[in-house]
């Protein structure tokens, strides 16, 4: 369980994390979604005790990370897959980490197998790893101490689609065994694939949160018909808001059953009718991303 309450982090005048509150539940994978610079890493670094908060609290099972004895056996953290020592082999990195944690070295081979790094790959120096291999090694390191909480910053970076599905299965199994997972991404589709719960952050503020089902539900309908103009008139007459979609058909602010009823009443033939899954989440996320891109970073901001 991770509890973040009214967390704020300022760098000078810049508010990187602005009064952020959310909870990550055991048994669930929580996706932390936001464009680059939204405040995800800063929030995760505060949770993992690496950066002090300006105000607010971040607790793991009710306590501050920094007060947990041998924290790697309680909380697995992957914040920067490139931070591993490039001159060591993957297996060496895990063996050293196992020694530091005081856990059995057999666990290293188990973890390498779990993240699908072959013995040959584990024997290579990390400087020769692809980003995807570094991510797998980072996940192995995070899981080494058999923690009940996992905090992973952009773990899908560098993974191909098959790798992302692999990660979903791995994290799903972990959560099904009672683990709590917080993972970040700046890509909506990664979060949609992997997460159960979603927290969306933009410019340091939480803009939406809920279960994936909640966030994707209530998004209205997409409909295609043989006569969209007649359908639009029928929907408007039934006081249902609808608008033509850029790629044809209509976006309707109503459940499919109501759209079907309005179409049937005027005898319009529907060729496609479905819930508009994720349309609102996607629109909100695109807006956040374009807002961020409009705010060009200044040299002053980069130096702070």
Residue numbers of the site for ligand ADP (CB under 6 A)?
11, 14, 16, 34, 36-42, 304
- Shortest CB 40 distance to ligand ADP, Å: 3
- Shortest CB 205 distance to ligand ADP, Å: 11
Query: Residue 165: how many CB atoms within 10 A of its CB?
Result: 13
Of 17 and 263, which CB lies nearer to ligand ADP in the complex structure?
17
Q: Are 47 and 66 in contact (CB under 8 A)?
A: no
Of 11 and 64, which CB lies nearer to ligand ADP in the complex structure?
11
Of 28 and 42, which CB lies nearer to ligand ADP in the complex structure?
42
Going 187 to 191 to 192 to 193, the CA torsion angle's sign is positive
- Shortest CB 173 distance to ligand ADP, Å: 26
> Quick one: tokens of 45?
């670094």
For the CA atoms of 56, 61, 67, 72, the dihedral, rounded to the nearest 10 degrees, stands at: -120
DSSP assignment letter at 153: S
Of 33 and 115, which CB lies nearer to ligand ADP in the complex structure?
33
- Shortest CB 53 distance to ligand ADP, Å: 13
Of 42 and 209, which CB lies nearer to ligand ADP in the complex structure?
42
> Quick one: tokens of 266?
């005027």
Going 111 to 112 to 115 to 116, the CA torsion angle's sign is negative
- Shortest CB 20 distance to ligand ADP, Å: 11
Of 65 and 254, which CB lies nearer to ligand ADP in the complex structure?
65
Phi, psi of 210, rounded to the nearest 5 degrees = 165, -175
Going 279 to 283 to 288 to 294, the CA torsion angle's sign is positive
Q: Are 242 and 252 in contact (CB under 8 A)?
A: yes
Q: Which residues pair with 4 in a beta bridge?
A: 22, 58
Burial profile 53-67: b = 16 or more Cβ within 10 angstroms, e = fewer:
beebebbbeeeebee
Of 73 and 203, which CB lies nearer to ligand ADP in the complex structure?
203
């Amino acid at each position: 369980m991770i509890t973040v309450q009214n967390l704020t982090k300022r760098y000078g005048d810049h508010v990187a994390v602005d009064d952020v509150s959310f909870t990550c539940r055991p048994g669930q994978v929580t996706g932390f979604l936001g464009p680059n610079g939204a405040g995800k890493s800063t929030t995760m670094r505060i949770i993992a005790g690496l950066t002090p908060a300006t105000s607010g609290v971040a607790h793991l099972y009710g306590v501050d990370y920094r007060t947990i004895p041998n924290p790697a056996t309680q909380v697995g953290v992957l914040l920067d897959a490139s931070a591993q020592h490039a001159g060591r082999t993957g297996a060496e990195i895990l063996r050293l980490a196992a020694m530091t944690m005081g856990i059995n070295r057999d666990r290293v081979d188990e973890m390498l197998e779990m993240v699908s790094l072959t013995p040959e790959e584990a024997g290579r120096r990390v400087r020769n790893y692809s980003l995807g291999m570094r991510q797998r090694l980072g996940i192995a390191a995070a899981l080494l101490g058999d923690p009940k909480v996992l905090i992973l910053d952009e773990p899908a970076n560098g993974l191909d689609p098959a790798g992302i599905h692999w990660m979903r299965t791995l994290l799903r199994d972990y959560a099904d065994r009672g683990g709590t997972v917080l993972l970040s991404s700046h890509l909506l589709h990664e979060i949609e694939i992997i997460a159960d719960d979603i927290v969306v952050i933009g410019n340091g503020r939480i803009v939406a949160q809920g279960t994936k089902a909640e966030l994707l539900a209530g998004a209205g309908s997409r409909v295609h018909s043989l006569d969209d103009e007649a359908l639009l008139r029928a929907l408007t007459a039934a006081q249902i808001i609808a608008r033509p979609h850029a790629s044809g058909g209509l976006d309707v602010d109503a459940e499919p059953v109501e759209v079907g009823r309005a179409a049937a009443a005027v005898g319009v033939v529907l060729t496609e009718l479905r819930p508009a899954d994720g349309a609102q989440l996607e629109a909100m996320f695109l807006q956040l991303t374009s807002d961020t891109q409009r705010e060009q970073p200044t040299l002053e901001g980069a130096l702070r």
